Amino acid sequence: MKAEYQDWAAQSEARILSKLEKVAERNQHKIPYTAVNGIFDDCSGEKIGWWTNGFFAGIMWFLYDRTGNQIGLQNAVGIEEKLDANFLVYDDMDHDNGFKWLPTAVADYEVTGSAGALNRALLAASNLAGRYNPAGGFIRAWNDRGSEDHRGYAIIDCMMNLPLLYRAFKHTKDPRFYQIAVHHADTAMKSFVRPEGSVAHIIEFDPETGRLVKSHKGQGYVEGSAWTRGQGWGIYGFTLSYKHTKKQEYLDTACRIAEYYLDHIPEIGLIPIDFCQPETCTWEDSSAAAVAASGLLELAVFVKGEEKDRYEAAAVRLLKTLAEKRCRWEPDMDHFLEKCSASYKEPVHEYPIIYGDFYFIEAILKINRHALDMW
C-alpha cells in the first residue's frame, strides 16, 4: 500500500474514532438503520429481525478494538444479545444471517473468544444452511411475503453471507457447511455474473427442479441493468469465497466484476444507484461506493502487480470522494455518509444508511491494516 494512501487513511481513521466515541455514548441501547436530522433511529423491538441490525455492532467492535472504548464494547455486546430474540421468529431468519451475526457474534468471538458468541454464530450458520435448495444448488433468499412466492429466489447479496458457513466449517469440521457455501457460490458464478462482468440482483429458479426461470431487476433500474451495490456485493463476496476456499475461479470472477465496476465509475467519482440508470437521473448510492471500496481492497490482497495497484487506487479514490463530498464529520451528527439509496424503485432516495457507514469505516481501517477479520 502506497505511503500517501496510508497517511491519508491514518488521518481519516483518527477523525472517525474521535467522532465514534461521541456517537457510541449518544446511542447506547440503539440498533440504528438510518438517521433523521443527524439522529439515529432504533430497530430494536419489532424490527429486531431487520437485515442491517448487525452493522452498528460491527462499527462498535471497530471502536473497541482500536481504542478500548468500553461503551463501544457494551453497545456491541448489547446488540448481539438483543439479536437472540431474532432466533425465535421464523420469518425473520433468512439468507441475511451473515449480515446479522458476522459483525456481531463472529466479531465478538474474534476479539474476545466468547463461547456464547461462537454458539450464536453456529446457530445462525445452521439456520442459513437449512435454506439450501439442492435441486438448484442455491440458498433461498427471502421468506414468502403475503402472496409473493420466493421459494426459488436467490440474490447476489447472499455471497456476503457465505463466510458464516465457511467459518462454521472451520470450527465444526462438518463438511456440509463448506459444501453448501461452495455450491451456492458456483451457482451464483454461473447464473448471476454476465460475460462482461455486470451482475444480476435476483435469479429465480424452479424450486422443484432447479431450472433457471428468469432474472429480476430487484433493487436496480431494470432487468438486465447493473445495480451498483449488487456489483459491490459481487466483488467483495466472490473475493471472500476465494479467501476461504482458494478456488481460482472465484478470484477470476471477482476481478471480472471489478473491471466492469471500474470501467463505469463516473468521472466525478460519485456512484449512481444503477450504472444503467438514465443520464437524466442523478440519484446516488454512497453505500455502493463504500461496499465496492472495501471489496476492492480485499481483492487487492490476493492479486499482484498492475491489478493490485489499480484496485487499491480505485478504492482510495472512491473513499476520498466520499470523505470530501458525502461525509458528515461533525461530532454532533450520528451518521457519516449521506446520499445512500437502498433501491432504485423506492419512493425515497439519498439518505444515511448504517451499512454505508460500516463499509466506509472498514475500508479506511483496511488501508491502515486495522480492520477486524469478521468476514
pLDDT digits (tens, 9 = 90+) for 322-374: 999 999 999 999 999 999 999 999 999 999 999 999 999 999 999 999 999 99
Look at residue 272 and tell me whether its pLDDT is greater than 90: yes
Look at residue 130 and tell me whether its pLDDT is greater than 90: yes
Look at residue 2 and tell me whether its pLDDT is greater than 90: no
Question: Three-state SS for 212?
Answer: strand
Look at residue 50 and tell me whether its pLDDT is greater than 90: yes
In this structure, the chain runs to a length of 375
pLDDT tens digits, one per residue of 161-177 = 999 999 999 999 999 99
pLDDT attached to residue 4? 82
pLDDT attached to residue 61? 99
CA angle at 213 for the pair 134 and 245, rounded to the nearest 5°: 40
pLDDT attached to residue 278? 97
Mean local confidence (pLDDT), 236-264: 98
Look at residue 145 and tell me whether its pLDDT is greater than 90: no
pLDDT attached to residue 331? 97
pTM (two decimals): 0.98
In the chain, the percentage of residues whose pLDDT exceeds 70 is: 100
pLDDT attached to residue 225? 98
Mean local confidence (pLDDT), 187-213: 98
Name the β-bridge partners of 227.
Answer: 274
pLDDT band, very low/low/confident/very high, at 146 (cuts 50, 70, 90):
confident
For the question of residue 157 being annotated catalytic, the response is: yes
* Topology (CATH level 3) of domain 3-367: Glycosyltransferase (1.50.10)
Mean local confidence (pLDDT), 244-249: 98
pLDDT attached to residue 125? 98
pLDDT attached to residue 163? 99
For the question of residue 94 being annotated catalytic, the response is: no
pLDDT attached to residue 266? 97
pLDDT band, very low/low/confident/very high, at 275 (cuts 50, 70, 90):
very high
Residue predicted with more confidence, 279 or 4: 279
Q: Are 354 and 52 in contact (CB under 8 A)?
A: yes
Instruction: Tell the burial category of 39 from Cβ atoms under 10 Å away from its Cβ (0-12, 13-18, 19+).
Output: middle
Mean local confidence (pLDDT), 297-322: 98
pLDDT attached to residue 3? 80
Look at residue 147 and tell me whether its pLDDT is greater than 90: no
Mean local confidence (pLDDT), 229-248: 98
* Annotated catalytic residue within 65, 92, 94, 157: 157
Q: How far is CA 366 from CA 174, 245, 353, 370, in A?
A: 31, 21, 21, 6
Q: How far is CA 254 from CA 191, 243, 325, 374, in A?
A: 14, 11, 28, 19
Mean pLDDT score across all residues of the chain: 97
* Annotated catalytic residue within 65, 92, 94, 96: 96
